Chains A and B, each alone.
Chain A
Amino acid sequence: GAGVSQTPSNKVTEKGKYVELRCDPISGHTALYWYRQSLGQGPEFLIYFQGTGAADDSGLPNDRFFAVRPEGSVSTLKIQRTERGDSAVYLCASSLRLAGNNEQFFGPGTRLTVL
């Protein structure tokens, strides 16, 4: 079956602009996660959803970052007033249930470049 997909694969934007990154999880997976990864670092947790609700958003760096999952499937990560420091690969993952006991399936990521 289809894996986790993310669009776009690459996004170049200018400082101050608004961007949306989309994640399509594996069908039937109730848990969805967003991570951010900078060069040479491991994935940094941002937020995760259980169904439609954000169960833990403690990793969001500031209020310019927001994510939604209105129907419990597709999720959108929204970044307002982008800054150069937001440049990174944004990874999405899903799991059948919370990943503490289940493997996470990752998408290929969206590479965001803020000029």
Chain B
Amino acid sequence: SQQGEEDPQALSIQEGENATMNCSYKTSINNLQWYRQNSGRGLVHLILIRSNEREKHSGRLRVTLDTSKKSSSLLITASRAADTASYFCAPSPSGNTPLVFGKGTRLSVIA
């Protein structure tokens, strides 16, 4: 299946702490994308990491990719209450298929 599986399903941390979410998948990929969703509405693209990349940064976000283990992680440093949301990974086998989403990780950041 192309779908990624996020772990843990839910995560609760204090403001200022780091949050780590993991994604596992089964197929070979061209790239993997991470999205955030607030309040059950539209998803927002966070970062795309290509299969030949191992790590990528964007602000307080750090994404790693291990294609040998078919896994990725999303690290949010110095978390804020506004980071409270659901986070989804979307592994993409090629450029010709739409993204498929798992159940996500629900992150709660407590002020």
Contact = CB atoms under 8 A, between A and B. Distances in A.
Interface of A: 4, 33, 35, 37, 39-45, 48, 56, 89, 91, 93, 97-101, 103-109
Given A33-B99, A43-B88, 8 more contacts: A42-B104, A45-B100, A56-B98, A89-B40, A99-B98, A101-B92, A104-B99, A105-B45
Given A99-B92, A103-B48, A45 B30 contact: no
Which range contains the number of B residues in contact with the other chain? 20 to 34
B103 A101 contact: no
A100 B30 contact: yes
B94 interface: yes
Q: Kindly list the 7 A-B residue pairs having the minimum CB-CB distance in the complex, ordered from nearest.
A: A106-B42, A100-B95, A103-B45, A42-B101, A101-B95, A100-B92, A48-B98
Contacts, number: 69
Interface string B14-56: 0000000000000000110101000011111100100000000
Interface string B67-111: 000000000000000000000100011111111111110000000
Interface of B is mostly: loop
A40 B102 CA distance: 11
Contacts of B97: 56, 98, 100
Nearest to B103: A42
B42 A108 contact: yes
Residue of B42, B44, B97 contacting most chain A CB atoms (<10 Å):
B42
B3 to A, nearest CB: 8
B98 A98 contact: yes
Contacts of A40: 103
Contacts of B99: 33, 45, 99-100, 104
A45 B98 contact: yes
A103 B33 contact: yes
Nearest to B106: A40
18 contacts: A4-B42, A37-B40, A42-B101, A43-B88, A45-B99, A45-B101, A48-B98, A56-B97, A98-B97, A99-B99, A100-B97, A104-B45, A104-B99, A106-B42, A106-B43, A106-B44, A109-B40, A109-B41
